[in-house]
Chain A
Amino acid sequence: MKRVIIIIAFFLVFFGCKAKTSVTEKEIPFLDTGVNHHEWVLIKSGEFFKGLHDHETRIKNDYEIMKTHVTNDQYVYYLNEALEKGTIKIEDDMVKGFYPGDKFHEYKHEKQIGKGFWPHMPVHELGQRIKFDGKIFSLIKGFENHPVTMVSWFGAKAFCDFYGWRLPTENEWEKAARGYDKRAYPWGNDISRGHANYYSSRLKVMKALNIHTYTTSPVGFFNGRTHNGLETKNGKTPEGLHDMAGNVWQWTADIYKDMHYRFMRGGSFTNYAYNLRIWARNSAGPEFYDINIGFRCVRDIENEEVSDDSNSGEEIIDGN
């Protein structure tokens, strides 16, 4: 019996430690999903059912939201432009940018987000699909239309700001994901492995993309077509948005009183199905980045200020 324990412990430590140093990101074949990731989708103003308990909530203005996550090629293009214009800089192997800071309330567990240069994205870290040679940014081939990841809230906000757009508020994100009824997922109330990139479908996605670790899928992958033998279902929202559940979490704009956390929505390829439900929230500090966190932007189509009547229960001090 002792031997069994020793062998099991050995395997655990061996694979755990080995994995840390042996996995590197490699080029993969490009997969065109047929979804144009440069498109925007109009979300009309009006009421929607918010959260687990379906609170009727109203958004006053129309807005447009990106049809898919911001992709690696879009972010690389932005980084090179921003570097040239001087809105970002490279310091300590990190892309950094200026942020004016948040109001600090010194509440329990609240961390001060002060004025200064904050991390947008690491330059040389495991899991990175974007490279930097000291002058320009480029990306690893095959990941062009995958969602950009390893980007902090600051990095996501900076991207949207750069083009005159902004991150969606949680309410805007939720309305866009849910449409006009009480569905649990963007496409309806049932979830299967063909609907989205999440924990239960990760092995099939890995196989279809020929990648040996769990990974993002190209944006719009789950669109009812068959890719490399993997038959997908149409995972669109009623208004035609892709990947509003699974693939990578999406940063949202709201800054709440008494906390520094920023919230993410949508779930990711590492999460179980319940995290993909429309109302599921995740959060982290604004400087946090990870392999399963990305974002998409919204833009106002009228000059009126975009606002909504209800929030997530916390007092919003900045909805961006």
Chain B
Amino acid sequence: MFYIKERFNYLFTSTKGLILVSISLISLIAAIWGTLSGPMVELGVKAITVKLLGLKLLPVEREGRIIMLYHTIAMAVLAIEVYMITSIVPMKKHQQSTINATITTGYITAMFFGLGFAYFGHHFVFHGLFLVGQSLVFFSGLLLASALWPWRKEYRISNPDYSHTKKGTDLERVAFFVMTLATLGSAIFGAVTGSYWGQGHETFLAEDLIRVPHKTALELAIVGHLHIMLTLIAVAITLIIGRWFDFKGIFHKIAMPVMIIGIIIITLGVWSVVPYQTSAHIIIYVGSGLVMFAALLLVIFGWKKLIRVRIAELGMKNPGFFKKFKALLHDPLKFGPLWQMVFMNFTVSGVGIFMAVKLDEIFRVWPAREERITLTGHWHILAAIIATIILLYYADIAGLKGKTRKWFGWIVIIFSDIAFGAVTVFSMKRLFVEHYAQEKVVSWTMLLADLGLALVLVVLAMLLLWRLFDLFKKKGLWMLEKDNPELEVKKTSSPSERYLKSSGEVE
């Protein structure tokens, strides 16, 4: 019993264990549900999965199923980000424990009962519990916002390296706080609309409305909800990666206020899509530009740091361009997250901007189904890029070292990018090849996309299996992580001794 209890405590009370559980559950869902679409249908794998699991896949329920699947995965991703935030942003221990416990209960409840309702028959108790789970996730967000309140004296900073106000308010903490509030408000944006389900709101996928000139307020709210939630998940991981890199200095001082303003503008822009659809887009562009600029500053800072650290390790003096470049690529787990942020511009932002500029000239000349593929393609890629960034960071947390670290990192970076590139080419193939001659392009891009994603999933499975087997060891890595449960980052503020005593963290 002690054997299980110890491991259970590691998995469900330590930050590293909690992240491992979430990634494992998402991976399991990706592996199983991935067999229900794409080439798996033609290969007959879908039929096997459906039979084995007893899935009920009525065609009329497809939209609803997809929405619930997205939500279950999104809840787990949110949980991972929350675990990371509670570990890297200073807060009281009891706050961290409460937030983590609440969101863990919430996302697991939402995941199991959401998938149960969507894929195993419509038992409305399952639907109710799915909502309970999501409500708990929301409640944990409220707790997080409270814990992140940036104007407490104990979180004031004076270190000139980090962005702060004259009074010492930590602007990175403010950025986390604003992002959390924006996420909570945007969740309400979707939840309120969802509450009209059956009373004017009918299930739909946003991509099916692209050419409808007059969308209802409920439809616009849902379209806004899904866009802003994904954006804020991306903002959160950017801030997290920033702390991992100990983002500081002049770039930090510029980036944090820009990020805060960007988050506020983009969020208000999306919320205003209901009453002011046209002007909302302009506001969103401004907000996006600011957020992307802040992320760019992080990338520049991070890459410069990677080069500097490696060059110092090697004791080089006056290294040339290629040596610096080699130093940049030395550690794929650290290079990767920032590279993925850059790569996102080719497959997400770039595509989005190109679409916006050439919408009437090109994309609205194509059939709606192809415009739809381009749209869904580019935000699926954004979601997947966020996932790869989390994976690369987790691989570092999990303790990958040496050649395994390099192989894992490069496989994730290269093959995910091949997949994302292939999906982008697939979605825009009409630009290069007439429809009549597209069969080969379709086959090749699909093959590359599937191959790329499959390889990422394989190395992820290997990483998770390694950690699974580790759990059976008496003194495995899990023991070390249990003793050192928090993420190893340099925090922006160090709460005073008096504060620590008052919170019971030290005797």
Chain A positions near chain B (C-beta within 8 angstroms): 1, 5, 8, 11-12, 15-20, 22-23, 52-54, 107-111, 125-127, 182, 184-185, 189, 191, 200, 203, 213-214, 249, 256-259, 261, 264, 270-271, 273-275, 277, 281-285, 288, 290-293, 313-314
What total count of A-B pairs have CB within 8 Å? 128
Residue of A nearest to B208 (CB): A281
Q: What are the interface flags for B358-373 relative to A under an 8 Å C-beta threshold, 1 for contact and 0 otherwise? A: 0110001111110000
Q: Assuming A108-B278, A284-B367, A288-B365, is B63 touching A52 (CB within 8 A)?
A: yes
Contacts of A259 in B (CB 8 A): 211, 213
Q: List 8 A-B contacts (CB under 8 A).
A: A5-B414, A19-B439, A19-B441, A184-B58, A203-B42, A264-B367, A270-B438, A290-B367
Stretch touching chain A among B159-167, B174-182, B429-437, B462-470: B429-437
Contact status B360-A111, CB under 8 Å? yes
Residue of B nearest to A259 (CB): B213
Contact status A16-B433, CB under 8 Å? yes
Interface residues of B in 401-433 (CB under 8 A from A): 410, 414, 418, 422, 425, 429, 432-433
Contact status A126-B213, CB under 8 Å? no
Contacts of A213 in B (CB 8 A): 436-437, 439
Contact status A184-B60, CB under 8 Å? yes
Main secondary structure of the interface of A (DSSP, over half): loop
Contact status A258-B365, CB under 8 Å? no
CB distance from B329 to the nearest CB of A (A): 11
Determine if B52 is an interface residue (Cβ-Cβ < 8 Å).
no
Q: What are the interface flags for B362-386 relative to A under an 8 Å C-beta threshold, 1 for contact and 0 otherwise? A: 0011111100000000000000000
Q: How far is the CA of A52 from the CA of B202 in the complex (A)?
A: 9
Contact status B440-A19, CB under 8 Å? yes
Determine if B62 is an interface residue (Cβ-Cβ < 8 Å).
yes
Q: How far is the CA of A256 from the CA of B213 in the complex (A)?
A: 10
Contact status A12-B368, CB under 8 Å? no
CB distance from B365 to the nearest CB of A (A): 6
Q: How far is the CA of A257 from the CA of B214 in the complex (A)?
A: 10
For A109, give its contact among B360, B436, B445 (CB under 8 Å): B360
Q: What are the interface flags for B40-66 relative to A under an 8 Å C-beta threshold, 1 for contact and 0 otherwise? A: 011000000000000000111011000
For B434, give its contact among A22, A126, A182, A264 (CB under 8 Å): A126
Contacts of B204 in A (CB 8 A): 52
Contact status B433-A53, CB under 8 Å? no
Residue from the set B63, B425, B429, B441 with the largest chain A CB neighbour count within 10 Å: B441
For B60, give its contact among A16, A18, A52, A264 (CB under 8 Å): A52
Q: How far is the CA of A285 from the CA of B212 in the complex (A)?
A: 14
CB distance from B68 to the nearest CB of A (A): 16
For A284, give its contact among B60, B278, B366, B442 (CB under 8 Å): B366
For A291, give its contact among B202, B208, B436 (CB under 8 Å): B436
Residue of B nearest to A263 (CB): B368
Q: Assuming A258-B214, A314-B212, is B437 touching A126 (CB within 8 A)?
A: yes
Residue from the set B369, B418, B445 with the largest chain A CB neighbour count within 10 Å: B369
Determine if B444 is an interface residue (Cβ-Cβ < 8 Å).
yes
Determine if B448 is an interface residue (Cβ-Cβ < 8 Å).
yes
Contacts of B58 in A (CB 8 A): 184, 189
Q: Assuming A274-B59, A292-B435, is B414 touching A261 (CB within 8 A)?
A: no
For A261, give its contact among B211, B440, B441, B448 (CB under 8 Å): B211
Residue of B nearest to A182 (CB): B60
Contact status A20-B434, CB under 8 Å? yes
Contact status B448-A12, CB under 8 Å? yes
For A15, give its contact among B211, B436, B441 (CB under 8 Å): B441
CB distance from B66 to the nearest CB of A (A): 10
Contact status A109-B434, CB under 8 Å? no
Q: Assuming A15-B444, A19-B440, is B59 touching A185 (CB within 8 A)?
A: yes
Q: How far is the CA of A189 from the CA of B364 in the complex (A)?
A: 32
Contact status B444-A12, CB under 8 Å? yes
Contact status B433-A20, CB under 8 Å? yes
Contacts of B434 in A (CB 8 A): 20, 125-127
Contact status B437-A12, CB under 8 Å? no
Contacts of A5 in B (CB 8 A): 414, 418
Contact status A109-B448, CB under 8 Å? no
CB distance from B301 to the nearest CB of A (A): 27
Having A203-B42, A275-B369, A285-B364, one finds 16 other A-B pairs with CB under 8 Å, namely: A5-B418, A8-B448, A15-B440, A15-B441, A16-B432, A182-B60, A184-B60, A256-B213, A258-B214, A259-B211, A270-B435, A273-B41, A274-B62, A283-B211, A283-B368, A284-B365
Contact status A191-B436, CB under 8 Å? no
Q: How far is the CA of A154 from the CA of B365 in the complex (A)?
A: 15
CB distance from B44 to the nearest CB of A (A): 10
For B202, give its contact among A22, A53, A277 (CB under 8 Å): A53
Q: How far is the CA of A292 from the CA of B62 in the complex (A)?
A: 24
Contacts of A23 in B (CB 8 A): 436-437
Contact status B59-A277, CB under 8 Å? yes
CB distance from A148 to the nearest CB of B (A): 15
